[in-house]
Amino acid sequence: MAKLRRTCGTMAAHMLLLERHPAYRGRLAALELATERLRTRRPTPQKLRTVTINCIVHVVWYDAAQNIGKSQIDSQFAVLNRDFRARNTDKSKVPTPWKGLVADSWLRFKCVQITRTKTTQRAFTVDDGVKRGASGGKSPINPRSHLNIWVCPLSGGLLGYAQFPGGPAATDGVVINYQAFGTRGTAQLPFNKGRTTTHEIGHYFNLRHIWADTPDCSGSDLVADAPNCAGPNYGKPRWPAISCRNGPHGDMFMNYMDYVDDDAMFMFTPGQSLRIRAALAGPRAGLTR
């Protein structure tokens, strides 16, 4: 794989859902209201408990090299269980002004099932074809109670995408390029640290890109403790990277919800962790039962 810049198809998938499922917009709006209510009574960490998210991994492969092994899948879950609990050792690289903002999201991920599907499709895209047997993919299993993760070839350099909370169950989950999943096997530099899946699961729990997908500083990721920034950061930026008059510290490009390389992202913030808890209390509540 030629060196790529990170690409995420979540917002493209989001726009398709807004067009095709009118009720989806209302569910997202209701979740934002619930998130704001939770923010006003922010629970203390002592009152939180770790929630185990049962996951089903669907390996959808065109050629044998894409039929990734269990050790590669296990390596991805090891990453998730460090990143979402703020137990990743590279968090030490967070700049001093933000070290106090490295947040535990109190999630544990457990792979409970792996399916394998040989497909006639050379690659998939954000149209959710990988989630339907009729289009060469695999339908989700128990998406209300399990996080479904599809690992497959994706076209156009796409690394992954996710469905925000409130969308249809038939397409719920996250999709990851087999070349950006886990830390071994087919995972390739600079996306071989498992952070693409961390990023996309962030979207699955209602986290937005830190630049709010606007190029002019006018948007918001709806998280007060992540500074507004002008656009995505790529590669391995030097700190501080200042935009949107956010000096002296600049963009929080080491946040998992930016576009930097895997080895340059290390953290979620308390505000992001709270959004995850709100999703778990609302449209993602089935994952906790």
Q: Is 200 a catalytic residue?
A: yes
Please give the structure tokens belonging to residue 167: 């969308």
Q: CB under 8 Å to 59, separation ≥6 — which residues?
A: 66, 67, 68, 73, 114, 115, 116, 117, 151, 152, 178
Q: What angle do CA 198, 33, 47 make, to 5 degrees?
A: 60
Q: Which amino acid is at 75?
A: S
Please give the structure tokens belonging to residue 203: 């979207």
- Distance (Å, whole) CA 113 – CA 50: 21
Cα distances (angstroms) measured from residue 53 to each of 26, 41, 80, 110? 25, 24, 11, 6
- Residue pair 257/198 in contact (Cβ under 8 Å)? The answer is no
Strands 259-260 and 51-61: unpaired
DSSP characters for 4-62? Answer: ----B-HHHHHHHHHHH-HHHHHHHHHHHHHHHHHHHT---GGG---EEEEEEEEEEES
* Nearest CA among 259, 165, 270 for reference residue 213: 259
- Distance (Å, whole) CA 209 – CA 257: 5
- Distance (Å, whole) CA 1 – CA 3: 6
Residue 180 three-state SS? helix
Catalytic position from the list 19, 32, 36, 200: 200
Name the residues annotated as catalytic.
200
